[in-house]
Structure 1
Amino acid sequence: MKKLLLTIWAGCLAWGVYAQQPNQPSYNANNRFEQLGPVLPTPNTYRTASGSPGKDYYQNRADYDIKVELDDANQKIIGSEVVTYHNYSPDVLPYIWLQLDQNLFAKGSTASLTRTGSVPQNGMSFSQLQNLNSVRERSQQGASDKYGYNITAVKDITGKPLKYTINQTMMRIELPAPLASGQKVSFSIDWNYFVTEYYGRSGLEYFAKDGNYNYFIAHWFPRLCAYNDVTGWQNKQFLGQGEFTLIFGNYKVAITVPNDHIVGATGECQNYKQVLSATQMSRLQKASTAKEPVIIVTQAEAEAAEKAKPTGKKTWIYKADNVRDFAFASSRKFIWDAMQTDVYGNGRKIWSMSFYSKEGNPLWEKYSTRAVEHTLRSYGKRTIEYPYPVAISCHATAGGGMEYPMISFNGGRPEADGTYSEQTKYGMIGVIIHEVGHNFFPMIVNSDERQWTWMDEGLNTFCQYLAEKEWDYNYPARRGEPRDIVDYMKSDKAALSPIMTSSDNVISLGPNAYAKPATALNILRETVMGRELFDYAFKEYARRWAFKSPEPADFFRTLEDASGVDLDWFWKGWFYGVEPVDQDLVEVEWFQTSSQNPEVVKAEARAEAERRNNTISKQRDAAGRNQTVVAQDTTMRDFYNSYDPYKVTEADRKKYQDYLATLSESERKLAESKQNFYTLKLKNKGGLPMPVIIRMEFEDGTDSVARFPAEIWRFNDAQVSKVISTNKKVKQWTLDPFMEIADIDDSNNSFPPVAKPTRLQLFKQQQGRFGPQGPNPMQQQRQQNGQGPTPARQGSGRNERE
């Protein structure tokens, strides 16, 4: 750190003397901080410049009356539906488009033909080879005709056949007459298909030990495509990665299943009294006033059902209003618990429910339903109150999750002995929060998932991160903290996609569409905008677009409109670009005010001269100082041998008094303050401009943090200098001390530089590369306590004695 004495003259106290003037080369700074302008769509009467729906905003609607049977013997869905489609657009529609998402698995689909990969030269394990021969892989390689829709009839409301064309996962129906604005049309479709193995979104899971299936049925019926002011028909093919673009409607669904199955579905069941036993109805009534989950179907009852055979069929009737989709789960293995609580303290009670097989216990009985209720409370606080009557979490396989209105399919499975790792526990709670949270984005704030994954996954992951912290202060969240996105941000730019990339084209979907936008929003909330401004604007976005279909520009514009903060530079850098954050604290120069008091100035000069003269040679020559010529021969001395340049003279004192007489009282205090001025030289090596946060550690052991907005880079986005004044001396400077801007390299964030060791891990030679794989901590503890294995996956036994 350089130290210079800075003489303060009365006429030069204006801070403008030290401000960096805008005479640097423009670099990219002007582009970075200019408005998005033509990058965003032009505002119109459908979508305003403020980010609100315009006066002519519209959305079409589809109402469904569906009858479906689950053929458990053949793992098949057989259904028929009557659809009433409402055209609220200003356009005349000669045909309509529907989605046939099960055709993802049909022979010759685009998804199968465009799937890439290779066989490793060093071979494959048997498990890998078996995976390649799984239902999902077979269908995507086009080797089977079994899967996909079999459409058996498409008719108008009078029963007359309608002409239709199937283009892979899309179907166009020709209408008998063009559908004018404000009109509606009804038609019917009959179909069937074989259920695939669970592939992350829907399907079945088979349990070889008891010979039963859990069914998680979604994107199972022909559904209307969206038609809107932005794209017209959103009829992009379903390739598996980009999810679903849907419209709202009312649903009545009759689900026929074996009579020993338990069904959970979107909406409210209309006939519990016909499908539940008297005991189960009594438990459900108890759950309607309980403050903790009540078991409706016990583990003992579910295990008994696993061993028995169905004696007939039952039809569960569900009704759901103003939802964009419908899904259900069915199994004889299901345990079911529930509670109906006043989530928001406004007198309106909401059901939180969980359906899970014994393979999920004890984790699911303990945590699932409580996590559902917590999610509704946490998300409702920062968006809108959950408007639906029920929210359901279903246990589907060991990992991952998928969301639908009012119901979600979630992973997280303990070991066979009922123990589990910390990762499994928090992973399960996290996936439940995430998937239940999707009720808000995109089930209510209805963004276009087929086009923009980040608008539901990114916003939802951000809210998940906040909900996890509200669940447990020490919750090990995977996404949201800036430090956790650093490895992705430092990747080769050629392998990165901007967040603003169409869903099916995104590279590294998890980091890109989940983690990066969630981190960006966290940085907006904590560092750029502050919590109060951000929370208000984010809530306003949810309020404006609840039960409507926003586009990215609507989100960007609303957050600026409701906060009064210009964020175009932020959207450009984080959402439209792939540059990382890498700030470099190159150098710090230290200046100190000089009062011009000769007593002080000359004393400091003497001390500095003595320091500079204390060289190694001088120290070693001291022993012979009396042997020099001048020491031996006094005639060689003159005035300068006794002259002391650092002695204060009367002339010095008079000159100083004359100077003080020219100063005002405030100027005198400033001159005598011995203020420290530091010039920080900063580089923006990564390219993405961000606020500058600098921590100062003082010699007296205290510290202070200075914050400068990102606009500090607006005249020069490559390098800037910034002057900071302090009353105390700074011994250490640190950029981004709280790891809040996702700086990819903190080795250049300290001045003076701080060396950080790389730990050298030592292993015995016989130890494997990753060390031994042992039991989880719960199993280790049991072994230490001398306990043997426990019965597999036992719940608490609530309601078992009823």
Structure 2
Amino acid sequence: MYAKKSSLLGYLAFLALIFTAHSQEVKQNNQSLFDGFMNRGGNVYRTASGKPGPEYWQNRANYEIEVELNDEDHTITGNLTIEYINNSPEKLDFIWLYVEQNRFTENSRGTLTTPPGGNRYNGDTRGGYDISNVQVDGDNAEYLIDDTRMQIFLKEPLKDQGDEVELSMSFSFTIPEEGMDRMGRLKVEEGWIYALAQWYPRVAVFDDVTGWNVEPYLGAGEFYLEYGNYDYKVTVPYDMIVVGSGQLQNPKEVLTKTQLNRWEKASESEKTVYIIQPEEVGTKKAYKKSSGKNTWHFKMENTRDVAFGASKAFIWDAAKMNLPNGKKGMAQSAYPKESDGQEAWTRSTEYTKAAIEFYSKKYYPYPYKNAVNVAAAVGGMEYPGLSFCSWKSKGASLWGVTDHEFGHNWFPMIVGSNERKYAWMDEGFNTFINHYSSNAFNNGEYPSHLEKTRQIKPYLIKDSREGIDNYPDVTNLRNLGYTAYYKPAVGLILLREYILGEERFDRAFKSYIKTWAFKHPQPADFFNHIENVAGEDLNWFWKGWFYGNENIDLAVEDVSKKENGYMITLANKGGIPMPMKLNFTFEDGSTEKLNLPVEIWQRGDSWEYLLETPKKLEKVEFDKMKQVPDINSSNDVWSISN
């Protein structure tokens, strides 16, 4: 034993001498850039590989709703029944709902936190819910309403793992004219256009991360909702058309024979077919009845929300959507004559069809039967199977907003992330896929230039810049376009095109969508899943780009001649490390490429690479294709003429 121990000690001393003789002065390393930055360990609910765990659960809410729209006093009045299913492992003493029409009151938190000069999320203050006859399983229930949240107390705790309860109530509200750029009403020549969203009390999400998610509805923060089936009916005056999320259940009761024939033709047509022609709007030809009311009945399965549009002013057209596995659906558009025209909404259905077909083929099949685009006094807002887009949009603007809002059917309608907290998980992911859809549409008619990642440099170097991880309601609205949309989208383009490559990224990204379809992923689930499928530790990237305010500044600092080639000195002058793709140009006109991994920066901010070559080197260039949003292009190139 003693001899062996002596031999081991001697060997260790020898190694220490060797490494000391051949090592440089010890400097501070960059381990902090590569360390983990959040708790991403797995548990029985969410695995470390970014998948739902063996005991993952999710509650569910099924809705039956009947409402009437009064176009004289602009009100919605109706009744709601919710079947709530508790799949969680704990008993529930109460249930929280969102009552977001209460945002439209003088003393709502959203109103009181809106700057005096207003912003995009302005809202009327003469609205709010009138809620009555609240019951649980048919008995009157105790409840509390606080701002945009409603708490219904249960006489007996709702049991865990599949127990159900029925909630019901009556409600009414005045439809705001300004609905925070998400819903509301617009006056056009032929009447009002109603864009109805957040129009019924909705169950809040109870999950394994936060419990009840009850953040107030303020402005920039959007929605986080449970999945379920919807059966809803909308009663309107006889001369009003209703288009909604889901499938129309009673077309024969509300459409004329001519409209039914056109509907059937549109369902098989690659080109847009009018259901209501422009010249028919406001005439007897447009309506099934000549007086009274109509009730439009819709159903939608496994969705987190529904919305609808209603108006006497709608031109209505449609075309067939070709979906994977031989399935088909129908793209539709409803818009007033003020929006008509080949340069404007006449192409809306074409745009809708193209967007849905592209995303279905490339990422995940569209799960719904219809996709409806409604022209309204809303810049652009998405709901499952239905979007509200500006009635003034034309050309590239209309394509862009239509493509973007229908892209949201994948994020967050299919992949049900929490928009109230993590806007980048829906807006950013969606902006990323919009980039590829736009480049593909009609041979690049409206190309995206988001691959030119250095275009966002002005934001990256602003002193007032904020991190992607900021909650949307906290973020300065001037920065929200970058924190929620462009910076995360550019980050994913960087990850796909530069860091991982298309094959590894696409496999991981599509796997993430499929794995979390109709579920509730958290940021850590996304990070873990991409890493596990792609096979790459990306802590340094998530931490630097998504959860920090540092920048990328990589430099070709120096080149010196050596006996057998050139010593290339590289530097990381920014706070985010990155692999380095180098191009070498020689005097004879030949070129070589070299890809150095991100690990060159683990020990420090300087790295030397010996380029062995008999040729005369004329230029060394980092990121020749300008794929990296490096904030300082002046140090990317060394040339003999410098």
Q: Is TM (by shorter chain) over 0.5?
A: yes
After TM superposition, list the pairs within 5 Å mapping 1:586-625 onto structure 2: 586-593=557-564
CA separation of 1:412/1:213 partners in 2, compared to 1, >3 Å: closer, same or farther? closer
SS of 2:84's partner is: strand
**What is the CA deviation profile of residues 433-482 of structure 1, one whole-angstrom value per residue up to 9, with x for unaligned ones?**
11101111111110111111111111111111111111143634264541
Matching of residue 171 in structure 1 with residue 150 in structure 2: yes
* Match runs of 1:605-684 below 5 Å: 677-684=565-572
**Amino acid aligned to 2:482:** P
CA contact (8 A) 1:203 1:217 kept: yes
Q: 1:195 and 1:97, CA in 2 relative to 1: closer, same or farther beyond 3 A? A: same
What is the match of residue 521 of structure 1?
492
SS of match in other structure, 1:443: helix
Question: CA 1:292 to 1:727, structure 2 compared with 1: closer, same or farther past 3 Å?
Answer: farther
SS of aligned partner of 2:578: coil
Once the two structures are superposed, residues 322-343 of structure 1 have per-residue CA deviations (whole angstroms, 9 ceiling, x without a partner) of 1100100111111111122333
Distance 1:727 1:387 in 2: 60
Q: Deviations over 1:644-703 (max 9, x none)?
A: xxxxxxxxxxxxxxxxxxxxxxxxxxxxxxxxx222222222211112122223323343
Does residue 42 in structure 1 map to residue 44 in structure 2? no
Query: 2 CA distance for matches of 1:487 and 1:515?
Result: 12
Separation in 2, partners of 1:353, 1:162: 41
Q: Is residue 2:77 matched to residue 1:78?
A: yes
Query: Does 1:225 pair with 2:213?
Result: no
Q: Which runs of 5+ in 1 are unaligned?
A: 1-16, 119-130, 415-423, 594-676, 756-802
Amino acid at match of 2:638: F
Q: Secondary structure at the match of 2:398?
A: helix
CA distance in 1, matches of 2:517, 2:168: 30
Give the secondary structure class of the aligned counterpart of 2:556.
strand
Matched AA of 1:203: G
Aligned equivalent of 2:434: 464
Question: Amino acid of the residue matched to residue 27 of structure 2?
Answer: P
Please tell me the residue identity of whatever aligns with 2:186.
E
Aligned to 2:610: 723
The superposition leaves residues 178-218 of structure 1 with CA deviations (integer Å, 9 ceiling, x where unpaired) of 111121111211111111124311111112xx261111100
Structure with higher strand content: 2
Which residue of 310, 320, 328 maps to 1:340?
Answer: 320
| 2:578 alignment partner in structure 1 | 690
CA contact (8 A) 1:92 1:180 kept: yes
Q: After TM superposition, list the pairs within 5 Å mapping 1:97-246 onto structure 2.
A: 97-116=96-115, 137=122, 139=124, 144=125, 146-158=126-138, 160-181=139-160, 182-198=162-178, 199-207=180-188, 210=189, 212-246=191-225
Cα offset for 1:408?
A: 0.7
Q: 1:684, 1:117 → 2: CA distance?
A: 44
Aligned partner of 2:425 among 441, 451, 455: 455
Once the two structures are superposed, what CA deviation does each residue of 1:83-129 show, in whole Å capped at 9, x if it has no partner? Answer: 111111111101000001111121211122223356xxxxxxxxxxx
Q: Distance in 2 between matches of 1:704 and 1:475?
A: 35
The match for 1:632 is none
2:632 — aligned with what?
745
Measured against aligned partners, the alpha-carbon deviations of 1:9-58 in whole angstroms (never above 9, x if no partner) come to: xxxxxxxx9xx96754124x11112344xx12431100011110011111
Alignment partners' CA distance in 2, 1:730 and 1:753:
8
Q: Secondary structure at the match of 2:411?
A: coil
Q: Quick one: structure 1 residues 224 and 138, their matched pair in 2 at CA, closer, same or farther if it must change by over 3 Å?
A: closer
Structure-2 residue corresponding to 1:558: 529
Does structure 1 residue 272 correspond to structure 2 residue 251?
yes
Within a 5 Å distance, the mapping from 1:388-427 to structure 2 comes to: 388-397=368-377, 400-411=379-390, 413=392, 424-427=394-397
The answer as to 2:279 corresponding to 1:300 is: yes
Q: Distance in 2 between matches of 1:377 and 1:483?
A: 30
Match of 2:359 in 1: 379
Deviates more, 1:103-112 or 1:400-409: 103-112
- 8 Å contact 1:691–1:708 — kept in the other structure? yes
Q: Quick one: which of 447, 460, 468 aligns to 1:489?
A: 460
Q: Which amino acid aligns with 2:355?
A: T
- Aligned counterpart, 2:599: 711
**Whole-Å Cα distance in 1 between the matches of residues 256 and 346 of structure 2?**
24
Q: Which residue of 1 is the match for residue 9 of structure 2?
A: none
What is residue 338 of structure 2 aligned with on the other side?
359
Partner of 2:28: 26
TM-score by length of 2: 0.91
CA distance in 2, matches of 1:395, 1:114: 29
Measure the CA separation in 1 of the matches of 2:420 and 2:23.
47
| Aligned counterparts of 1:99 and 1:387: Cα–Cα separation in 2 | 26
Separation in structure 2 between the aligned mates of residue 175 and residue 86 of structure 1, nearest angstrom = 14
- For the Cα contact (< 8 Å) 1:480–1:518, is it kept in 2? no
The 3-state SS of whatever aligns with 1:441 is helix
Q: Residues 268-310 of structure 1, C-alpha deviation per residue, up to 9 Å, x if partnerless?
A: 0000111111111010111121121211111111254799997
Work out which structure has the larger RCO, using CA pairs closer than 8 Å and 6 or more positions apart in sequence: 1
Contact 1:22 1:715 in 2 (8 A): no
The one-letter code sitting in structure 2 at the alignment partner of 1:275 is V
Question: Distance between the aligned counterparts of 1:77 and 1:573, measured in 2?
Answer: 47
Distance across 2 between alignment mates of 1:678 and 1:336: 68
How many residues are aligned here? 616
> Helix, strand or coil: the match of 2:327?
coil
Is residue 45–residue 52 contact of structure 2 (8 Å, CA) maintained in 1?
yes
Corresponding letter in the other structure for 2:610? V
* CA apart distance, 1:229: 0.5
- For the pair shown, the structure with the greater C-alpha radius of gyration is 1
- 8 Å CA contact 1:59, 1:88 repeated in 2: yes
Q: CA RMSD in A?
A: 2.5
Q: Which stretch shifts more, 161-170 or 349-358?
A: 349-358
Cα–Cα, structure 1 residues 517 and 531, in superposed 2: closer, same or farther, change >3 Å? same
What one-letter code is carried by the residue in structure 2 that aligns with 1:456?
D
C-alpha distance 731-480 of structure 1, shift in aligned 2 (>3 A): closer
Deviations 1:111-152, CA, capped at 9 Å, x for gaps: 22223356xxxxxxxxxxxx89x9x7574xxxx5x2111113
Determine if the alignment matches structure 1 residue 432 to structure 2 residue 402.
Answer: yes
CA distance in 2, matches of 1:190, 1:298: 37
Contact 1:52–1:554 (8 Å) recurs in 2? yes
Q: Distance in 1 between matches of 2:512 and 2:280?
A: 46
Report how far residue 220 of structure 1 moved: 0.7
- The one-letter amino acid of 2:584's match is M
Residue 681 to residue 412, structure 1, CA distance change in 2 (3 Å): farther
Q: Do structure 1's residue 316 and structure 2's residue 204 form an aligned pair?
A: no
Which amino acid counterpart does residue 110 of structure 2 have in structure 1?
A: A
- Return the alpha-carbon distance in structure 1 between the equivalents of residues 350 and 430 of structure 2: 19
Q: Is the 8 A contact 1:343 1:373 kept in 2?
A: no
Cα offsets for 1:394-438 (capped at 9, x unmatched): 1224x7311101101112636xxxxxxxxx522211111111011
SS where residue 696 of structure 1 aligns? strand
SS at match of 1:442: helix
* Residues 30 and 427 of structure 1, relative CA distance in 2, 3 Å threshold: same
TM-score (norm 1): 0.73
Contact 1:447–1:455 at 8 Å: present in 2 too?
Answer: yes
The 10-residue stretch of structure 1 (428-437 or 578-587) with the greater mean CA deviation from structure 2? 578-587
Give 1:65 deviation, angstroms. 0.7
Name the SS of the counterpart of 1:316 in structure 2. strand
Cα 1:310/1:572, change in 2 over 3 Å = farther
Unaligned runs of 5+ in 2: 1-18
